[in-house]
Amino acid sequence: MVSVFSWSGGGFASFCAYPGANLTGQWLGVFCQNDNSAIFGYNYSWLNLDLCVGNNAGQLANFEYGNYSASCRDCSIVSSHSLYLVCSCTNMQGQLQNSSVDLNTTLFVSDGAASCFNYFGNKSWTGPDPKGPSPW
């Protein structure tokens, strides 16, 4: 069984431990529930958000292969009732403006992998090693 949740269903926040999410460059790392109901396990998943989010005239938006990181900077993840990507993005006048996008509206989970559109994130049983190189 594959758990695929639509954008309108907002399944990402329900199946991932997003308060522990981290952003390294354009890579989102998060623990997500997998489909192995026998162990009710979680996988550490990392997904390149350039595949999911774009900059539309200074506003972050859901775009397949949006490549937001080419024109946005100082990005971070903010978690409250959902998970937000917050950045300063270049607008049509070439000026930076603050913008955010609710990642729960574009991301979904497929057997423990954070995913968007037709892209499925990598996953492992353990998170990144704080003493070693980043998996991305």
Nearest 5°: phi and psi at 135?
A: -70, -10
Q: Which two tokens stand for residue 75?
A: 């990005």
- pLDDT digit string (tens) for 88-103? 999 999 999 999 999 9
Nearest to 121 by CA among 9, 8, 15: 15
Give the distance from CA 24 to its chain's centroid.
11
Domain boundaries, the chain: 11-124
Q: Tell me the CATH architecture of domain 11-124.
A: Roll (2.30)
Percent of the chain residues past pLDDT 70, beyond the cut: 78
Residue 13 predicted with pLDDT over 80? no
- DSSP annotation string for the chain: ------TTTTHHHHHB-GGG-EEETTEEEEEEE-S-TTTT-EEEEEEEGGGTEEEETTEEEE-TT-BGGGTEEEEEEEESSSEEEEEEEE-TTS-EEEEEEEGGGTEEEETTEEEETTEE-EEESS---TTS----
To 5 degrees, how large is the angle CA 86–CA 91–CA 76?
15
- pLDDT digit string (tens) for 33-84? 887 766 667 788 999 999 999 999 999 999 999 999 999 999 999 987 788 9
